[in-house]
A and B are shown apart, each in its own frame.
Chain A
Amino acid sequence: MILTINGRPLAATPGETLLQVARRAGVDLPTLCHHEGLEAWGGCRLCVVEVRRRPDDAPKVVPSCLQPAEDGVRVETHTEHLLRIRATLLDLLLTRAPDSDLIRRLAVEHGVSDGTFEPRPEPTSCILCTLCTRACAAVGAHAISTAGRGAEGEVSLPFVDDADACVGCGSCAAVCPTGCIELKDAGSRRTIWGRTFERVPCEVTGQPTVTREYAELLARRSGLPVDSFFVSDEGRRRQTADRVAGLVGVGDGRVA
């Protein structure tokens, strides 16, 4: 199918979103809640574009991360109206999360140097993008979700402090765009969501590998034995080299 973005005709395949087509064509659309590996959320609204099915239609503002590509659709990505929407959204987000470098960078790129709205009584860097909760669900732990409604929403453990389901994989902290999930690694101790985990030391190198809880989750998901996860990649490389050495018959069956 062929559609046009900012006047340029572009090919697209059924099942693609407008965001995918636009990015492939080098059109820079900002996103905050979007992640290729997770189901699209459509909450930050930064990726909004204007679409028209027919040239005389009034433009409709839609999130490009979710809007399916359609044959013949006319898309505009940077009209004055859209730029004003993005600037306002970033102004709102920067007001909410003034300490986030990413939000500030995006805001400045859109002409907003500071949040101009009334700040929250208690600051937070969380913008409720739900990347963390979606990642946690993808990993299979389902340990965190959003609690509360509207502007009082927050990412939370069940019953505020029940961290039983957390496996300490750290994916939530890794995908968070504003860095507001605290993950502390001190040696083999990992603290996250108010819970402290032990990362099991590698049998070969002694370096921390994964938490026992995460290993159990991985074992359930993959069918591999739990203990197989307590060797680090470095340790496994060494074991592999030893095994090959043994097969080939060199170096007394061991590497240096």
Chain B
Amino acid sequence: MKQLVVTPIRCIGCRTCEIACAFSHPAGRTPGRSRIRAFPIRPPEGGIPVVCFQCDTAACVTVCPTATLTRNPRTGAIDYAEARCVHCRACVAACPFGNIGYDDASRRCYKCDLCSGDPQCAKFCPSRALEFA
């Protein structure tokens, strides 16, 4: 199964991944929250991408009371089923890496879903810091 591979040393801090992610996950008619963050480093110009690790034993899955977060067998991602969410934000509190957040405006959690198997961040990354392989 392909995975999203992150090579931080190649990151140039351009944050195109964030834009690609936000536009691939619209909230209404506007771009939604980005599920990936590229934190800039100076000097030299670069960045550290932080994105959901789709953990084998995920804290978010463990703590969710309604089985809203479940493994997608096709993509390998941990998917968020909005219809099951009771907005308790236990997942947000539990993720040790901060890779799931809650958007008050759209009243839902946001986390990386590997774009259902075609991650746009990897597609648009100019420096191969993000690869889907």
Contacts and interface: CB of A to CB of B under 8 A. Distances in A.
Interface of A: 35-38, 135, 138-140, 169-171, 174-175, 209-210, 214-215, 218, 221-222, 224, 228-229, 231-241, 244-245, 248, 250-251, 255-256
B125 interface: no
Interface stretch (B71-79, B91-99, B112-120): B91-99
A175 B96 contact: no
A174 B86 CA distance: 7
Nearest to B42: A256
Contacts of A38: 66, 86
Contacts of B8: 244-245, 248, 250
Contacts of B63: 218, 221-222, 224
A174 B97 contact: no
A37 B84 contact: yes
Given A241-B39, A250-B9, A255-B39, A236 B97 contact: yes
Contact of B46 (A135, A169, A250): A250
14 contacts: A37-B68, A37-B85, A135-B86, A138-B65, A138-B66, A174-B107, A218-B94, A236-B97, A237-B37, A239-B98, A241-B39, A244-B50, A245-B48, A251-B48
Interface of B: 8-9, 37, 39-44, 46-48, 50, 59, 62-63, 65-68, 81, 83-90, 92-102, 107
A229 B96 CA distance: 9
A245 B100 contact: no
A256 B40 contact: yes
B86 A171 contact: yes
B13 to A, nearest CB: 9
Contacts of A37: 65-68, 81, 83-86
Most buried by A among B42, B90, B101: B90
A240 B62 contact: no
Contacts of B66: 36-38, 138
A224 to B, nearest CB: 6
A48 B9 CA distance: 58
Given A229-B94, A237-B37, A245-B41, A169 B50 contact: no
Given A235-B98, A250-B8, A250-B46, A256 B41 contact: yes
Nearest to A221: B63
Nearest to A244: B48
Contact of A233 (B42, B65, B95): B95
B90 A237 contact: no
Contacts of A215: 93
Contacts of A245: 8, 39, 41, 48
